[in-house]
Amino acid sequence: MAASISGTEADTALLAAHKPTGRISDPIFVGLLWASGIFVLVLLGLIIAMLFEGGLPALREFGISFLWSTTWNPVTERFGAGVMVFGTVASAVIAVIVALPLSFGIAFFLTEIAPGPFRRPIGVAIQLLAAVPSIIYGMWGFFIVVPLIAAYVQPPLIEWLGPIPLLGALFQGPPLGAGMLTAGLILALMILPFITAMFVEVLESVPPMLKESAYGVGATSYEVYRNVSVPYGRTAMVGAVMLGLGRALGETMAVTFVIGNATRMSASLFAPGATIASTIANEFPEASIGSLKLQSLLQLGFILFVISFIVLALSRLLVRSKLKG
């Protein structure tokens, strides 16, 4: 400590001697942190740019009508995205329509009904549905669900609902098992855990005071759930549903196994169809580098990216806006 008494000059020298760590290493470290942050941004930019650039020739060849044209003919080399865009949106919407009531119910069960010690294990088990790889859903769907639907679900539905005007159009065609409805059902099971988990998270953030006030005036659990908890978390719950939708839009392997892969447009729920992702997975092996088909597939990929990006971005904005406030 003698140095510190003897004057500022020695002081500075002492400090300098003790503070070499971090003078050079810190800027490098902080630089690395920033670089990896920026890297993620660049990655997304690159993905968008590469998909767009790869699909540009197809867009030039077929014009903007590529987006809705329902022709997909590898023989004549005429391609359009209409059937796949329809299939992608239709199967994802079916999935959400099926998964939504289930998620509402399961979230109610997990937050209000299940006895304390069972909540976590049951919640985790349902979350495991999200961890099962896509291809496993595909195999299970293809070998187990498709035959069951073909044998027990489709024939009665075609017989009973098919003859009804308008509505009957949804239930036409041979009972193949594979098709739009089956794909939607499998997708519903796959997005169910995502939606449920976010529902539960939102419901658990409802201030207990709000719920207790409702219970205090004599409301039943269901009434509290419906009139207090759900309205409180509405925005974030819409976001959760959008996340499920976004996931369903891009799901590939499971859909490829069960949708039937027909690039024709059909109004029937039972008709085989195709999504953007399943078409890319299916037709890619037959597309050679530089071919118009490959460019069309890349353009399809770009369209899928744009659709999912919009849905996921909306979902995130809605979820954040609520959970933050």
CB-wise, 52 or 170, nearer to other proteins? 52
Structure tokens at 69: 């044209």
Shortest distance in whole angstroms from residue 28 CB to other proteins: 8
**Contact call for residues 318 and 236 (beta carbons, < 8 A):** yes
Which residues have CB under 8 Å from 170's CB, separation 6+? 161, 267, 268, 269
User: Given candidates 80, 177, 233, 246, which one binds other proteins under the rule CB under 8 A?
Assistant: 246
Residue 215 as a binder of other proteins (CB under 8 A): the answer is no
User: Given candidates 132, 169, 176, 210, which one binds other proteins under the rule CB under 8 A?
Assistant: 132
**Number of neighbouring beta carbons within 10 Å of residue 58:** 23
CB-wise, 180 or 192, nearer to other proteins? 192
User: Given candidates 5, 9, 17, 36, which one binds other proteins under the rule CB under 8 A?
Assistant: 36
What is the DSSP secondary-structure string of 272-318?
Answer: -B--HHHHHHHHGGG--TT-HHHHHHHHHHHHHHHHHHHHHHHHHHH
Shortest distance in whole angstroms from residue 74 CB to other proteins: 18
How many residues touch other proteins under the rule CB under 8 A: the total is 90
- DSSP assignment, residue 153? I
Binders of other proteins in range 102-121 (CB under 8 A): 102, 104-106, 108-110, 113-114, 120
Angstrom distance (rounded) from CA 107 to CA 104: 5
**Going residue by residue from 72 to 101, which x/- string records binding to other proteins, judged by CB under 8 A?**
-----------------------------x
User: Given candidates 202, 312, 318, 322, which one binds other proteins under the rule CB under 8 A?
Assistant: 312
